[in-house]
Amino acid sequence: MEPLASTRLLASLHPYERIVLASHVNPDPDALGSMLGIQKLIQAEYLSKEVILTFDGLIARAENQAMVRVLSIPLVPISSVELDHRTALVLVDTQPHTGRRASEATTPVAVLDHHETPGELTGVKFLDIRPGIGATSTLVYGYLTEQEIPIDPRLATALLYAIESEVAGYPREASAADDEALAWLYPRADKNLLAEIRSPRLPQSYFATFQHALSNAFLYGEVIVGYLGVVPQPDIVAELADFFIRFDRVNWALCAGLYEDELRISLRADQIGAHAGEVLRQAINGLGSAGGHDKRAGGCIRLQDVRPEAVDAVLRTLRCRFLDHLEVDEHRGHRLLQDSPRHPIP
């Protein structure tokens, strides 16, 4: 009988003195909850091993900042951690060759994820990639229950919010395992902490970005495309895509925003079987990197030139490729709000 996945993961980490957990750039609740759960799993088995939780990029979305703050998640920048022969790098909610920066040169000992594999993975001792589940935190919850490790209210809150945020939307991209985890975690989570995470206070820049996005959103049949301009933080691009896909006349929502020297892109679909990750990968092919799920995807294009005309050219290429893939006539587009101020996208 093959050992449990959690047992095999722990065995792969046995030779190392310390463990570094890393997720994707700009970690979201699923990445944060997963790392917190894996830390608990490792420390229950190996009391003497140091487990370091890291982040790359920003924790920018107000809910994500609140999650880190109220749950006291101990994060350090991945760039400040030395990855030597005594250290095992564990990728959680991400995989090699997906646009991570500081840790990309190091081959991980273990990879845990629920996204589709972007390419061949070699040299990794432990792999557990399950695209059939809605959240990596569901996988981690399974590890903890396999090893009969108690889940306290703080960790239950983290895992619950992580899974909840990942499978939100309609139709839900959730499996029976996700629903089982949610049902078990909910009565054990701290509801006050959960409410504080869900409803953080928001700065003025948040509303200004929404205004700009509404003024620069265009409809192409059942597709909405919005350019957000320069954004105060990259996660708001995904928030706007989630907002626009709720429009009752669209099946696709594509949003883009400029953050520093990068064009951040988010894609949403409202139907199962849309293969949003693959659609966005094809649209960005050769320009940058992208990935995602059936209904949700994200990407990034690093720009050498951020002058308006240069950004416009990249946006035009992205939009044309995307609409062409969906067989939508780009010449029949019109502004979402007809009386909006004139700030045209290319």
User: How many Cβ atoms from other residues are within 10 Å of residue 305's Cβ?
Assistant: 11
Note whether 269 and 242 are same-domain residues.
yes
pLDDT at 56 over 70: yes
Note whether 18 and 167 are same-domain residues.
yes
pLDDT at 169 over 80: no
Note whether 116 and 132 are same-domain residues.
yes
Note whether 177 and 66 are same-domain residues.
yes
**Helices 29-45 & 136-146 angle (0-180, nearest 10):** 20
- Is residue 297 included in any domain, yes or no? yes
Q: Which residue has the tokens 């994707």?
A: 24
pLDDT at 294: 82
Note whether 112 and 252 are same-domain residues.
no
- Is residue 342 included in any domain, yes or no? no
- Is residue 128 included in any domain, yes or no? yes
More confident residue, 339 or 301: 301
- Mean pLDDT of the residues in the chain: 91
Note whether 173 and 322 are same-domain residues.
no
- Is residue 292 included in any domain, yes or no? yes
- Is residue 113 included in any domain, yes or no? yes
The CATH number linked to 277 is 3.10.310.40
Q: What is the pLDDT of residues 1-10, one digit of tens each?
A: 789 999 999 9
CA–CA distance, 109 with 89 (Å, rounded to integer): 6
- Is residue 255 included in any domain, yes or no? yes
**How large is the average pLDDT for residues 10-26?**
95
pLDDT at 99: 58
Q: Please report which confidence band the pLDDT of residue 216 belongs to, taking 50, 70 and 90 as the band edges.
A: very high
Structure tokens at 250: 């669209």
Note whether 192 and 278 are same-domain residues.
no
Q: String of b and e for 59-79 (b: at least 16 CB within 10 Å)?
A: bebbbbbbbbebbebebeebe
Of 163, 198, 233, the residue at which a domain comes to its end is 198
Q: Which amino acid is at 250?
A: V
Note whether 161 and 248 are same-domain residues.
no
Of 198, 229, 256, the residue at which a domain comes to its end is 198
- Is residue 316 included in any domain, yes or no? yes
Give Cα separations from 4 to 45, 69, 144, 214 (angstroms): 14, 33, 11, 49
Note whether 139 and 228 are same-domain residues.
no
The CATH number linked to 192 is 3.90.1640.10
Of 198, 231, 255, the residue at which a domain comes to its end is 198
Q: What is the pLDDT of residues 311-333, one digit of tens each?
A: 999 999 999 999 999 999 988 88
pLDDT at 296: 87
pLDDT at 104 over 80: no
Note whether 106 and 187 are same-domain residues.
yes
Q: How many domains does the chain have?
A: 2
Q: What is the pLDDT of residues 221-277, one digit of tens each?
A: 999 999 999 999 999 999 999 999 999 999 999 999 999 999 999 999 998 888 898
Range of the domain at 180: 5-198
Note whether 173 and 232 are same-domain residues.
no
DSSP letter, residue 150: -
**How large is the average pLDDT for residues 275-289?**
92
- Is residue 42 included in any domain, yes or no? yes
pLDDT at 135: 95
pTM: 0.80
Q: Which long-range contacts (CB under 8 A, 24 or more apart) does 271-276 make?
A: 271/171, 271/295, 272/171, 272/173
Q: Which residue has the tokens 């979201």?
A: 28
Note whether 211 and 192 are same-domain residues.
no
